[in-house]
Amino acid sequence: LREQEGTLLAQLDRAHRELTKERHEYFSSVSERRSLLDTLIAEIEKKRDQPVVEFLMVTPLRVVSPPSCEVAKAPVPELVSPELQRTVKSLSEMTQLVTDVVAEFKEVLVRSSAGNGLMFFCRALVKVTLDPETASPYLILSKDHKTVRLGDWQQKLPDTPKRFTGSPSVLGSEG
């Protein structure tokens, strides 16, 4: 009985040591993950206020994959070329210009509909004669070739080398 008790106590002691070792390894692993996450959070908080272009050029983030707890690296983003930066800047400037012109046009229309801006609006009108040989099949010209409107469907017109086919357009001359 005493021998059996000694054997059981030795087994219990071994199991206790193994559990203690596994517990220590688990706490170390959790501590490492927490430290890594704290580092990642600090990096992200530091970089979140950067401009988008600079944010995309940072060193790759390290990601912890849950099942294996291995550290992986995200792919390094490509640097933004100066040409692309110029194009984006140019498009941004053009967008602002178009927005300003549309706002100004709306203002002119509002003034002209109120009556006091009608003269300003009408000054830009010019008498034009439209060329039926260049008119897109989607456009309908008046008999006197002075006005045009967009049709509901494409007309069957003689094919001429001058005719616009890709967009609803027509050439005109003053008079």
Q: Is the pLDDT of residue 27 over 70?
A: yes
74-116: per-residue pLDDT in tens?
555 567 677 877 888 888 888 888 888 888 877 776 666 555 5
Q: Strand 148-150 relative to strand 172-174: parallel, antiparallel, unpaired? A: unpaired
Q: What rounded mean pLDDT belongs to the chain? A: 76
Q: Is the dihedral of CA 28, 67, 55, 97 positive or negative?
A: negative
Q: Select the more confidently predicted residue: 126 or 97.
A: 97
Q: How buried is residue 135: exposed, middle or buried, by Cβ count under 10 Å (0-12/13-18/19+)?
A: buried
Give the residue ranges of DSSP H helices in the chain.
2-47, 52-56, 82-114, 118-122
pLDDT for the residue numbered 68: 45
Q: Residue 49 — pLDDT band, cuts 50, 70, 90?
A: confident
Which two tokens mark 10? 């030795």
pLDDT for the residue numbered 67: 46
63-74: per-residue pLDDT in tens?
444 544 455 555
First-to-final CA distance of the chain:
124
pLDDT for the residue numbered 147: 85
Q: How buried is residue 139: exposed, middle or buried, by Cβ count under 10 Å (0-12/13-18/19+)?
A: buried
Neighbours of 175 (CB within 10 A): 7
Nearest CA to 155 out of 146, 68, 164, 130 is that of: 164
Q: Residue 117 — pLDDT band, cuts 50, 70, 90?
A: very low
